[in-house]
Amino acid sequence: MKLFDVYPINPINIVKGVGSLVYDDKGTEYLDLYGGHAVISIGHTNPHYVKRLEDQLRRIGFYSNSVEIPLQTELAQKLGKVSGKEDYQLFLCNSGAEANENALKLASFHNGKKKVIAFRKSFHGRTSLAVAATDNPKIVAPVNETDNVIFLPWNDETALEQAFAGNDISSVIIEGIQGVGGINVAPESFLQKIRSLCNELNAVFIADSVQCGYGRTGKFFSHDFAGVNADIYSMAKGMGNGFPIGGIIISPKIQPSYGMLGTTFGGNHLACAAGLAVLEVIEQEELLNNAATVGGYLIEELTKFEQVKEVRGRGLMIGIELPEELAHARKELLNKHHIFTGEAKPNVIRLLPALNLTKAHADRFLEAFSTVLNHSTVTQ
């Protein structure tokens, strides 16, 4: 049997990782500013994380949601404390798409309505409704097509008001910072407008925090910068530092009932142990502060490069927009300087490193980036 060939891959076999460094099978060291797509939040093979998972695996790895799993309650309490949303309720699943799927479904159960507002350049995942709310027709199969999703331009309050006026809206789903769409920060006033229209017209505000959440921006949820609460926050990626776990936290105004949502694997013992270890490290090592400080430093330094068109983002979620002539920069960073970064089309380098990235590692990147840009003939 061969693999179903859907990923364009780099010919690199990573066999080991420590903190923000990874190593291939030939012993070459790479600086990881991609975090396996924003997943590695507390660094590769963090000792506390490894121990908690090992200990849990020796006791029990999995049992279903038909029995008590106190680790789930422990995780909910810890998450409430670290995120500041202590009165919210936690539902656990396994991925970001699933988290959004459940969020959209729950909103519709809650208010009995069907229409969803999503935004241009959004990415919410690849399951049925999550992909329908994703602004990329290439990944929407005919079976996923629906007229229940209305796409609006980013940060257009008039379009938002008009969509609410003309439709019975169930929910609005928005990333606090669009990731796949190119690191576009949602303006605070826009999030506040969504909040007030949702209040007025009984719609559910869904904050997709799969990529921009979990401390990455220096606040636990990037939507928090707007000073308003969403009704549902979806999470995954950094939540398990590589162990597949996702979830939604749900405002107390939304009531559960038996059978409303469900999953076989979600919230299993091993996933909860991973989730707890991540939050413990985030708390103990004050990683939100580190993300804000090292991220702020990177953003400040990056804006000084005159060849860079724009630097966007917050904390350790950074987009560096380059002119077309410098489109090769990301490949060069990887092949010549052994630094992993992410990308967004057409020419945005995305930095999504672990939240405990050190200043020394940030400097190592800046130096390499400078070499890449300054050995290029192009200036803006």
Ligand X SMILES: Cc1ncc(COP(=O)(O)O)c(C=O)c1O
101 binds ligand X (CB under 6 A): no
- Minimum CB–partner distance for residue 15 and ligand X (Å): 23
Beta carbon nearer to ligand X, 43 or 179: 179
Q: Which has the closest alpha carbon to 355: 310, 298, 270?
A: 298
Quote the DSSP letter at residue 229: -
Tokens standing for 310?
A: 């724009």
Q: Which has the closest alpha carbon to 205: 180, 184, 226?
A: 226
For 112, counting Cβ atoms within 10 Å of its Cβ (0-12 exposed, 13-18 middle, 19+ buried), the class is exposed
Quote the DSSP letter at residue 238: G
Beta carbon nearer to ligand X, 17 or 96: 96
Nearest residue to ligand X on Cβ basis? 96
Q: Which of 72, 211, 290, 356 binds ligand X (CB under 6 A)?
A: 211
Count of residues engaged in binding ligand X, rule: CB under 6 A: 14
- Minimum CB–partner distance for residue 66 and ligand X (Å): 25
Whether omega before 187 lies within 30 degrees of 0, making that bond cis, reads: no
Q: Which has the closest alpha carbon to 39: 72, 17, 10, 23?
A: 17
- Minimum CB–partner distance for residue 235 and ligand X (Å): 10
173 binds ligand X (CB under 6 A): no
Beta carbon nearer to ligand X, 17 or 176: 176
316 binds ligand X (CB under 6 A): no
351 binds ligand X (CB under 6 A): no
Tokens standing for 316?
A: 């350790």
Segment interacting with ligand X, rule: CB under 6 A, options 122-130, 160-168, 283-291, 327-335 = 122-130
- Minimum CB–partner distance for residue 33 and ligand X (Å): 16
- Minimum CB–partner distance for residue 198 and ligand X (Å): 19
Give the containing element (helix H, strand E) for 193: helix 188-200
208 binds ligand X (CB under 6 A): yes
CA distance 259 to 331: 48
In whole angstroms, how far apart are CA 66 and each of 93, 160, 267, 344?
15, 42, 11, 41
181 binds ligand X (CB under 6 A): no
Segment interacting with ligand X, rule: CB under 6 A, options 78-86, 204-212, 219-227, 302-310 = 204-212
Q: Which has the closest alpha carbon to 238: 99, 133, 333?
A: 99
96 binds ligand X (CB under 6 A): yes
Map residue 149 onto helix, strand or coil.
Answer: strand
Q: Which of 236, 254, 270, 291 binds ligand X (CB under 6 A)?
A: 236
17 binds ligand X (CB under 6 A): no
Residue 78 near residue 280, CB atoms below 8 Å: yes
247 binds ligand X (CB under 6 A): no
Tokens standing for 130?
A: 């999550």
- Minimum CB–partner distance for residue 355 and ligand X (Å): 16
Q: What is the DSSP string of 321-354?
A: E--GGGTTHHHHHHHTT-EE-EEETTTEEEE---
Q: Which of 110, 113, 115, 124 binds ligand X (CB under 6 A)?
A: 124
Residues found near ligand X in the complex (CB under 6 A):
95-97, 100, 123-125, 175, 179-180, 208, 210-211, 236
